[in-house]
Structure 1
């Protein structure tokens, strides 16, 4: 199979989404620093580029966060070629076993919230090169973690409040607020 790589900008100007025509991972993996990539051969290799400051994988894409002084026009062809080669050579994203399907836990309300985040919100957030993880539900407040291109993105607060919060409040009346846990 010939591997094709194409790029998509994300709402975060410091990140670029590199899409491939092959499933890379079930779930997602976030490597916000060089140190965090210790058990990921693919991420470790990306961090060898001095302009890479973060790496995030989900389904069929890798989102790369660059340092402030680098220009995507110069970096994009280099990274596209690297991603193509890494996928063709089956460089592993993580050394551990692959993730299984999500298993939701908690009260009936918590399980419903997790299911909505998984089925409705996750695919939309992944379109922008990011990921969302459920953390908790206490006293009407849902706490989530935004990763990948969503982490530090200027429009993530708007997405969180006008998109995710409105959806959850419509589908789960117990939800009063949605907040993002700082990374």
Structure 2
């Protein structure tokens, strides 16, 4: 049986210490931010029981640990090294690599939208069952993908639908400089099999939709408008990286109120599309029941 020894190596980052083994440990490279992420690594899970461990990195012949500020490495490094030696020499599993998800064959391509501030990133696979819009990182608690995209300083908003992600940017960056980076990030995220939207959020959305379906009783005109938007308008809007939702119909003024999301929200050409496209279509199909269509940006 192999006998393991550990050598402690200082890194350029004072918060990260490297514990190098004298034998091969794993085939791949693994990073764990918390105990839940470390389901396939009994060693990492044990290390997270140490209250000062922030991140665990496991590589071919070393384990690197990032600490919280509550301790200094000088005070605990020998204790951690000893714990690692005992664990490894007991023959305990490091990473159950056969349980690690293989990368999925995912392709993602970037597609321009009518809104110059928004780029659409289309996947070859369905990524969400419904639409989700996040205006900031605080709204993105149920979407790991959206949260991580907000870490890019130029990302303003994130919109998810079926098989694509629409990313809205601030003016500080140009798409020609950042499109490749964002596309590769989204592709890698999906290829790793990570959860785009939490299961809790998906179930919640289903319940909300069911409740709304039971509670909201639309009049005949409103239902007719909804059917037209669903059949004729939504597919075209989705192809541009956005979404349109029926808000209300005011019978007296014959005004249709809709909500624009994704690439359509705040798009310079959305007013033109609204007036010359959607409004004209509804007037032609609904006759004198529709006088005007008004948009509320989502």
**What range describes the TM-score normalised by the shorter chain of this pair?**
over 0.9
Deviations 1:126-173 (A, max 9, x none): 111111111000121100011111111100000001100111111222
Aligned residues: 183
- Superposition misfits of 4+ residues, deviation over 3 angstroms: 98-105
1:96 paired residue number: 201
Alignment of 1:32-47 (within 5 A): 32-47=135-150
Of residues 112, 115, 131 in structure 2, which corresponds to 1:9? 112
CA distance in 2, matches of 1:21, 1:67: 27
Deviations 1:62-116 (A, max 9, x none): 0001110102122111111111122222322244125558958401111111111
Structure with larger Rg: 2
Secondary structure, aligned partner of 1:57: strand
Of residues 219, 238, 241 in structure 2, which corresponds to 1:129? 241
CA distance in 2, matches of 1:2, 1:168: 42
**Runs of 5+ in structure 1 lacking a partner?**
none
Q: Relative to structure 2, which stretch is displaced further, 166-175 or 104-113?
A: 104-113
User: 2:260 aligned with 1:146, yes or no?
Assistant: yes
2:97 paired residue number: none
CA distance in 1, matches of 2:147, 2:135: 11
Cα separation, partners in 2 of 1:39 and 1:110, compared to 1, 3 Å: same
CA distance in 2, matches of 1:113, 1:105: 14
**Runs of 5+ in structure 2 lacking a partner?**
1-103
The answer to whether the Cα contact below 8 Å between 2:266 and 2:297 also exists between their aligned partners in 1 is no
2:283 paired residue number: 169
2:158 paired residue number: 55
Superposition TM-score, scaled by structure 1 size: 0.92
Secondary structure, aligned partner of 1:22: coil
2:226 paired residue number: 114
CA distance in 2, matches of 1:166, 1:29: 28
CA distance in 2, matches of 1:108, 1:26: 28
